[in-house]
């Protein structure tokens, strides 16, 4: 199982979904960076939005404990290792034979891939529980970026057939990014959020499940970050995004909508402000051109499949009808890690 990601920063996740403890080791972080442990815990807690805790989501808080790489709240330059306690362990017995009855999971493919030697109780290695280490790493990287003025935020753009207001791809502000992060339910338009919550509850009661789209934006990323071809900024973001369970689609900027445009409609015209800084009037390119940041907000949309449904007769209070809300900080985390990995090459960053 590939649990190590390496691109200037190295992220190594260990443990399994039903282990008492999972963890992560992050190598390559700059030394002397202040790490606010409470802010890290708050970031990770967003995986369980409070607005869902009385319906389909139990309150399960991951408790991280940093055991190396930080001294007196500052990074030492050594690998940062953290252990994350699993607050709830579910012992579910599955048959020993190759499972094919749980449609939509990696039970069958995992058994074939690991030749039957994987633990059949925990075949879904890419369960959302292993997103806790990813969120830990993303929270740490986010703090380092924010001290340089770079902010990342995400919200539920669409849940089932209910759509939230999108980010303004050209004029999104720091306040616009931060405000949605502090909400009980991560949407811009609160009324749409209430409709989404009602839809989730309806799906849970009937044993169904819902998918959706998470939109993410990063602002104040300077122009010139990234590289062409295989080490592009978009490539790096995509690799981490597809490490999140349930992801099936990703687009930057206008994305697939560009296929419906004329070239003159899709092209973003460059202009210069009174301070001599370049910008584009539109942002169809999503802040990345040729694998390199343009200085415009980086915008992306991530599509998630529905969670595993159950029959109405088997539905229960702990049935998870939709994991899109808890995926919001995961998307932010992936973007933070990717941005910091490239920013380390940027002149005068550290």
Q: What is the CATH number of the domain that holds 133?
A: 3.60.150.10
Given a cut of 50, whether residue 114 has pLDDT beyond it is yes
**What pLDDT score does 61 carry?**
61
**CA atoms within 13 Å, Cβ hemisphere of 325:** 26
Q: Is residue 33 part of a domain?
A: yes
Q: Is residue 349 part of a domain?
A: no
Q: Is residue 164 part of a domain?
A: yes
**CA atoms within 13 Å, Cβ hemisphere of 293:** 25
**What pLDDT score does 113 carry?**
72
Cα radius of gyration (the chain): 20
Distance, first Cα to last Cα, the chain: 33
Q: What is the DSSP annotation of 105-126?
A: SSHHHHHHHTTT-S-GGG--TT
Q: How confident is the model at residue 273 (pLDDT cuts 50, 70, 90)?
A: confident
State pTM to two decimals. Answer: 0.90
Q: What is the pLDDT of residues 207-231, one digit of tens each?
A: 899 999 999 999 999 999 999 999 9
Number of domains in the chain: 1
Q: Is residue 350 part of a domain?
A: no
Q: Is residue 348 part of a domain?
A: no
Q: Which of the residue ranges 135-139, 276-280, 292-296, 323-327 would you say has the lowest mean pLDDT?
A: 276-280
**What pLDDT score does 90 carry?**
56
- Partners of 278 in the beta sheet? 272
Rounded Cα–Cα distance for residues 195 and 312 (Å): 22
Residue of 192, 246, 179, 185 whose CA lies nearest to 55 = 185
Q: What is the pLDDT of residues 117-168, one digit of tens each?
A: 665 444 444 456 678 999 999 999 999 999 999 999 999 999 999 999 999 9
**What pLDDT score does 112 carry?**
76
Q: Is residue 74 part of a domain?
A: yes
Contact by Cβ (8 Å): 331, 258: no
Other Cβ atoms within 10 Å of 202 Cβ, number: 13
Residue 337, C-beta contacts closer than 8 angstroms, at least 6 positions apart: 5, 9, 11, 134, 137, 138, 141, 240
**What pLDDT score does 277 carry?**
86
Helices and strands: H and E segment counts in the chain: 8, 16
**What pLDDT score does 350 carry?**
76
% of the chain residues with pLDDT over 90: 69
**What pLDDT score does 348 carry?**
84
Residue of 312, 279, 325, 13 whose CA lies nearest to 187 = 325
Q: Is residue 140 part of a domain?
A: yes
Rounded Cα–Cα distance for residues 163 and 241 (Å): 21
Residue of 307, 281, 89 whose CA lies nearest to 207 = 307
**What pLDDT score does 123 carry?**
42
Given a cut of 60, whether residue 103 has pLDDT beyond it is no
Rounded Cα–Cα distance for residues 15 and 34 (Å): 27
Q: What is the pLDDT of residues 35-93, one digit of tens each?
A: 999 999 999 999 988 888 654 444 556 679 999 999 999 999 999 999 998 766 555 55
Q: Which of the residue ranges 38-42, 98-102, 345-349 would you say has the lowest mean pLDDT?
A: 98-102
Residue of 205, 115, 215, 102 whose CA lies nearest to 159 = 215
Q: Is residue 154 part of a domain?
A: yes
Q: For residue 46, give its domain range.
A: 4-343
- Which of 2-6, 52-56, 94-98 reaches the highest mean pLDDT? 2-6
Other Cβ atoms within 10 Å of 259 Cβ, number: 8
| Cα 285 to Cα 197, 253, 258, 265, distances in angstroms | 32, 5, 9, 12
Rounded Cα–Cα distance for residues 130 and 296 (Å): 32
Mean pLDDT taken over the chain: 87
Q: What is the DSSP annotation of 283-348?
A: -TTTTEETTEE-SSPEEEEEEEPPPPP--GGG--TT-----HHHHHHHHHHHHHHHHHHHHTTSTT
Residue of 249, 304, 258 whose CA lies nearest to 283 = 258
């Amino acid at each position: 199982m590939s649990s190590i990601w390496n691109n200037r920063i190295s992220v190594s996740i260990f443990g399994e979904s039903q282990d008492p403890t999972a963890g992560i080791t992050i190598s390559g972080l700059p030394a002397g960076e202040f790490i606010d442990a409470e802010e890290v815990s708050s970031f990770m807690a967003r995986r369980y939005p409070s607005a869902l805790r009385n319906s389909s989501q139990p309150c399960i808080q991951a408790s991280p404990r940093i055991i190396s790489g930080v001294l007196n709240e500052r990074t030492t330059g050594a690998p940062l290792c953290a252990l994350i306690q699993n607050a709830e362990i579910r012992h579910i017995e599955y048959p020993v034979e190759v499972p094919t009855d749980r449609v939509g999971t990696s039970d069958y493919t995992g058994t074939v891939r690991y030749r039957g030697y994987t633990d059949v109780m925990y075949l879904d290695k890419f369960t959302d529980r292993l997103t806790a280490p990813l969120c830990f790493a993303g929270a740490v990287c986010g703090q380092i970026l924010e001290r340089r003025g770079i902010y990342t935020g995400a919200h539920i753009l669409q849940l089932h057939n209910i759509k939230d207001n999108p980010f303004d791809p050209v004029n999104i502000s720091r306040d616009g990014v931060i405000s949605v992060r502090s909400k009980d339910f991560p949407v811009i338009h609160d009324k749409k959020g209430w409709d989404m919550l009602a839809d989730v509850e309806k799906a849970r009661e009937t044993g169904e499940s819902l998918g959706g789209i998470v939109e993410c934006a990063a602002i104040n990323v300077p122009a010139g970050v990234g590289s062409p071809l295989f080490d592009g900024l978009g490539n790096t973001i995509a690799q981490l995004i597809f490490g999140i369970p349930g992801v099936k689609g990703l687009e930057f900027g206008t994305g697939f909508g560009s296929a419906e445009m004329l070239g003159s409609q899709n092209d973003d015209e460059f202009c210069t402000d009174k301070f001599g800084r370049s910008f584009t009037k539109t942002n169809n390119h999503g802040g990345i051109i040729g694998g390199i940041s343009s200085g415009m907000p980086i915008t992306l949309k991530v599509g998630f499949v529905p969670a595993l449904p159950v029959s109405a007769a088997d539905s229960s209070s702990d049935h998870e009808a939709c994991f899109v809300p808890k995926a919001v900080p995961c998307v932010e985390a992936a973007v933070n890690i990717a941005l910091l990995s490239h920013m380390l090459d940027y002149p005068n960053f550290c």
